[in-house]
Structure 1
Amino acid sequence: MSTSQPPSWPHCAHGADPATDPVGCRGIHVPGHTVCLAHLTDTDRNAYLAGLTPGANIDHRGTTFTEPLLRGLETVLHDSATGIVRFGRARFESATFKGKAGFDSTVFEGDARFESATFKGKAHFESATFKSNAVFHSTVFEDDAWFHSATFKSNAAFRSATFKNNAWFHSTVFEDDAWFHSATFKSNAVFRSATFKSNAAFHSTATFEGIALFGSAVFKGKAWFGSAVFKGEAWFDFAVFKGEARFGSAVFKGDAHFDSAIFERADELGPLVCAARVVLSGATFGGPVTLEFAAPHLVCRRTRWAATAEIRLRYTTVDFAHAVFEYPLTIAAEPAPFVLTDGSVLAEDALVGEPGPEVRVASLRGVDAAHLVLADVDLSPCLFTGTIHLDQLRLEGACTFDTTPAPVGGWRRWPPVRFTKRRVLAEEHHWRATRPGAAQGWDSAEPGTGRTGPLQLAPVYRALRKGFEDGKHEPGAADFYYGEMEMRRHADDIPRAERWLLTAYWALSGYGLRASRALTWLGAAMLLTIGLLMGFGIAQDTPKQTATGTVPPGGGTVVFEIDKDDPKNPAGDRFTGERFEKALNVTLNSVVFRSSGQDLTTAGTYIEMTSRLAEPVLLGLAVLAIRNRVKR
């Protein structure tokens, strides 16, 4: 109330000063007197208190209570039969309580009104029972406020209340609506194990400046936290939401913990902004739900969905390890800021400094991916080992994987190491980074992610390859086939002879996927063949045919025997233009598995036979590699 505006009730006016305080004491007149309870004479006060009985209605609006004065009032309202203090209708609007205000185990049988009251010391309402409305609108608690194990049987209204120190509501029972909208908690707010049997409203910019603890709380009606601001950590672990849970436009500047929380009927959670982590590990969603978060981290370890769900994210890295769902579940990146129901855009000021709105999946270990859909997410850091039915994972939009490192090193001593770019799993990065003599550029694993090797990665690559093939994405499938073959080549349980064969397959053509490598080998083989033919295979001269005639005695028949000289080994200058042309002709015909008809030496014949076997194979590997890259 304004210091210059008198209250609406007849007030005491004790200590009024026209210059400094024209209103004076605001305490309401005690019945039959013209002053408040605090300024009655001792005789008049004792007479007034003597007329009160347990359960009496009292009205001490604007009165200032010291500890002795409040204790004296409670003494006369103490019921000796039950051992508790009983108020009827209690009106303490705009009252001021100096020192400790002790209402522990008190029963308020009528309305308890504390609007605009100020508690300068600790306010104790532990185990108190409010049988009618409890109104604490705009009340200021300057020290701890204790409502531990209190019971509110009707409305509990704390709208715009200010808790400057800790607020303790653990194990409190709210049997009707609980209104905390626009309340401010400047220190810790503890609602652990509280029970909200009807609606709970913490919306309209309710502010929690310390830790907000709602662990094991039970919300049986609607739980409204829309536009609430949590400046410290918010804990909803093991909380139970039996009705709607509304967190639209809520802002969490610390971690938001929903560990093992149960959402029985919540159809949406968000959109909300969290500057740290949203933790849903162990939480359970009983019905179809849409989750909308703008947060750097979302942890969904062992989270359970009993119906369809859609998770729309911004700026987020998702840990989805061991999540459980039996119905379609979608994790999608939201390209633009979330739009609220009123058409306004959700402010993301708490995320200033984050690298970008991209969504990354950190782990899918232990997930049954048969019903999982990923849309426009970055899978470069994702751990896939242990994922079930990975071949049925659906990837929509621009889902990206990690790639091989870029060329590293310099030319001062050694040429740079070059890796052909392909999709690789983060776990292959981690494995290669731990190998002795590993090249630079492979990323090491984060602590606690565990170690995997070729034996574990080969089936992962195989499943992803199958999934891409089923989706008619052959270039992507080719990358995963390459990864699968790489893991088989390095696996310890593969027989050595098979590993040698795989090594040769890799060296010659990159498992039939590197056309440039096969063409390089083909070119090298052709050059070698040409060189060998020029040096040893092409005969010195073209052999001349000879005819020898023999006349048998007594006859005129002449028989000619045609013979051809053996090709002679070359001598003199072997590397001439004419010999190059002949060698090139033989080599090109060998590539297409044809004979050139050129006269060759014995060594040349074997050279041609070898080239007619090797070079068509290399050409076929190059064609196969090109086909694997353009096939649809």
Structure 2
Amino acid sequence: MCLAHLDAAQRAAYHASLLPGADLDHRGTPFTQTLLDELLGALVDPASGRHLVGRAEFDGARFSGDVRFDRVDFTGVTSFGQARFDGGVRFRATRFGSDARFGEMEVAGDVRFDGADPHGGVRMRGGVWMARASIGGALRFQVERVDGRAVFDGLSTGGRAEFTGVVFGEVAAFTGLAVAGEAWFDGTEFRQDARFTEAAFSRKAWFDGAVFHRDADFGGATLGQDVSFSDARFGAGAVFTRAVITRDAEFHRAVIRGDVSFRKATFQHTARLGPLVLPGLLDLSEAGFQSAVTIEAATTAVRCRRTRWGSTAALRLRHAAVDLGDAVLEFPVSVSGRSRPFVTDDGTEAEEDGLTDPRVRVVSLRGTDAAHLLLADVDLTRCLFTETVHLDQLRLEGRCPLPEAPPGIRLRRWRPVRWTRRRTLVEEHHWRAARAHTTGWTHAPAGTDVREAAALAPVYRQLRKALEDAKNEPGAADFYYGEMEMRRHDHESPWSERALLHLYWAASGYGLRATRAVGWLLLAMSATVVAMMLWGIPKDDPLPRSTGHISGTAISLTTDKADPVNPEGAYGRRMSDERFDKAVKVVINSVVFRSSGQDLTTTGTYVEMASRILEPTLIGLTALAVRNRVKR
């Protein structure tokens, strides 16, 4: 018969038949605190003074009012599956020697597992199942240790949930956990995987000082307010895939080994994320930021592929290789490198174990709309710019180095080539390295497409415009040089255009290399001087001869001048000081685009005409090159 329906004599006889450690089967029995105390009183161990119970089955039982299980030792499996508590329930200084099952139980009030007793706290030698349980009040799970598997899948609480300081020896599953109040996991230790997938925290969640030895999975979780991981330790990284983060996520002094993924996460009103310090990957791919946010991270890599920025954002980074491929920027976003470590909330600098290179390197902008992008103090030596949208509106501030052409002399098709020193794009390195017999350029990594010269010319053009719009005319010069280089090597262009570009390049480096133009000028002047001395200056200066005729009082005079005579004799005899002086005067006058007035041979006349066109042009190219380097 049901224990609750026995009369006093029958219950007394039943209690007298029980010995400490006896099994109990009271499934579906209605209990009051008085009835429960009488039952447990019959199981007191005289040696310890504790209630000693073997296997306990209370499935479907109903408990009226608040009930307590104080100083009870459950040595066998304990089951409260689908039990109903009209009030609250408290397990104080209770020991569970085997599995404790609370699946689908319903509690109107609070549930407390605590050790508020001088005889010790709550212990669980087996696992605990609280799947799909419903708690109207708060859950205080102050258990010292859970040796077996812990399953809280689908658990819901109407108040706060406290798991402070619990040690979970096996997998701890909180899938679908719903906490209406604050959630406390500070100091909790997870020896195996911790699964919070699809969990919902309506208020702030505290994981300060928590230790995750294995995977920490918060995929699909909803964090209604701030979440704090200060001083937490992650042995294998953390996953927040598809999580909804309403407020800030803080990681002060957190030690993270492995990657942290916010892939496809939604940040609704997050103003701050970090500071994150980890020698791994911070993945923000396909995440959505709906409000202004500051992200602080010192990490090996930051991946922001297809990330959507619905408001302003500031990425303050250290050590990271940043991938912004296909990111969507609706408002201004800045990516800047920090020279000093981040400062935590207590004023100390964050430790950066495993991170050695403080540079921030942007590795890709492909597919990104750069109209609202600002890069400050970042390394662009590996950055891929092709396919970037509105690249001409990109802003560069501070020191943003780009790869340079190989220094010194290199071999190309078995002949020495000296590359002009300038800033380039890494895509040009890939393109040149892919050409035969070209050394010194960086080869494209595996899986990276090599773009042809025709595709790189517009990239250089847009970067040049971006710097020119920022009033950095000298800085834009190298991009103009790169644009002209790509046009010169574009085999789809007409040959006449490429020939003209080759001439422009050889003469003055596209109007940017003053030394080259000066060199050609000096060479042209020297050649003109030599030509004048050898063939242009006549043998002797022809003297004018005047003849006259007198007729009465009228006198008529006619002055004739003999044609210049070509010089004769050995070439060595023509190289005299007198002829050199005359040749220099001719050349100097030609440079300033004027006639020297010197009598010249026919050859000298044509040489002078050519020098009067060529040498002033080289002077102009020299002035243009200087102007392009110093203009404001």
TM-score between both structures, scaled by the size of structure 2: 0.85
Deviation by residue 1:149-206 (Cα, 9 ceiling, x = unmatched): 2222322110111122211111222232221111111221111111222322212x11
Partner residue, 1:169:
174
Which deviates more from structure 2 when the two are superposed, residues 92-101 or residues 182-191? Answer: 92-101
1:526-558 per-residue CA deviation (whole Å, 9 max, x = no partner) reads 111112111111111112333455688xx7977
Aligned position for 1:212: 216
C-alpha displacement of 1:621: 0.5
1:299, distance to aligned residue in structure 2 (A): 0.8
**Is 2:128 the partner of 1:123?**
yes
Query: 2:437 corresponds to which residue?
Result: 437
**Correspondence for 2:291 among 260, 284, 287:** 287
Q: 1:180 to 1:263 in 2, by over 3 A?
A: same
- Check the 8 A contact 1:100/1:121 in 2, yes or no: yes
Answer yes or no: is 1:195 the counterpart of 2:227. Answer: no
- 1:360-371 aligned within 5 A: 360-371=361-372
Aligned equivalents of 2:50 and 2:517: distance in 1? 109
Question: 330, 334, 337: which is aligned to 2:334?
Answer: 330
- Runs (5+) with no aligned partner, structure 1: 1-13, 15-27, 79-83
Relative to total residues, which structure has the larger strand share, 1 or 2? 2
- TM-align CA RMSD: 3.1
Verify the 8 A CA contact 2:50 2:73 in the aligned structure 1: no
Partner Cα separation in structure 2 for residue 110 and residue 37 of structure 1: 33
How many angstroms apart in 1 are the aligned matches of 2:495 and 2:415?
Answer: 31
In the alignment, does 2:407 pair up with 1:402? no
Q: Does structure 1 conserve the Cα–Cα contact (< 8 Å) formed by 2:219 and 2:241?
A: yes
CA distance in 2, matches of 1:243, 1:535: 87
Q: Which of these residues, 247, 253, 278, is aligned with residue 257 of structure 2?
A: 253
- Which residue in 2 is equivalent to 1:422? 422
- AA partner of residue 582 (structure 1): K
Please, which of 563, 566, 571 is the counterpart of residue 563 of structure 2?
566
Structure 2 match to 1:390? 391
CA contact (8 A) 1:383 1:426 kept: yes
Give the Cα–Cα distance (whole angstroms) in 2 for the partners of residues 215 and 584 of structure 1: 83
Q: Which runs of 5+ in 2 are unaligned?
A: 1-19, 21-36, 115-120
Matches within 5 A, 1:53-132: 54-55=62-63, 59-68=68-77, 70-71=78-79, 74=80, 84-87=82-85, 89-115=88-114, 116-132=121-137
AA aligned to 2:587 is T
By how many angstroms is 1:339 displaced?
2.1
Q: Distance in 2 between matches of 1:375 and 1:347?
A: 22
Q: Residues 528-539 of structure 1: matches in 2 within 5 Å?
A: 528-539=527-538
Distance 2:507 2:93 in 1: 89
Q: Secondary structure at the match of 2:623?
A: helix
1:243 Cα deviation after fit: 3.5
Identical positions, percent: 44
CA contact (8 A) 1:193 1:217 kept: yes
Q: Distance in 1 between matches of 2:458 and 2:126?
A: 66
Q: 1:132 to 1:560 in 2, by over 3 A?
A: closer
**Is the contact between residue 158 and residue 179 of structure 2 (CA under 8 Å) also seen in structure 1?**
yes
Comparing 458-467 and 254-263, the one that deviates more: 458-467
Query: Structure 2 vs 1, CA of residues 389 and 349 (structure 1 numbering), >3 Å: closer, same or farther?
Result: closer
Q: 1:416-444: CA deviations, max 9, x gaps?
A: 6432322211211222111222232x112
Change (3 A) 1:556 1:334: closer
Matched residue SS, 1:349? coil
**What is the match of residue 505 of structure 2?**
506
Does the Cα contact within 8 Å between 2:193 and 2:216 map onto a contact in 1? yes
- Rate the CA distance shift 1:106–1:93 in 2: closer, same or farther, 3 A: same
Which residue of 312, 315, 323 corresponds with 1:319? Answer: 323
1:276 to 1:37, Cα distance in 2 relative to 1, 3 A: farther
Residues 253-299 of structure 1: CA deviation (Å, up to 9, x unaligned): 21100001111111111122122111111111111111111112111
CA distance in structure 2 between the partners assigned to 1:338 and 1:99 by the alignment:
47
1:441-476 CA-partner distances (Å, limit 9, x unpaired): x11222333222222221221122112122221111
Instruction: Specify the code of the residue in structure 2 equivalent to 1:85.
Output: A
Q: Deviations over 1:301-348 (max 9, x none)?
A: 111122221111111221111211222222122222222333x12422
**TM-score between the two structures when normalised by the length of structure 1:** 0.85
State the match for 1:345 in structure 2: 348
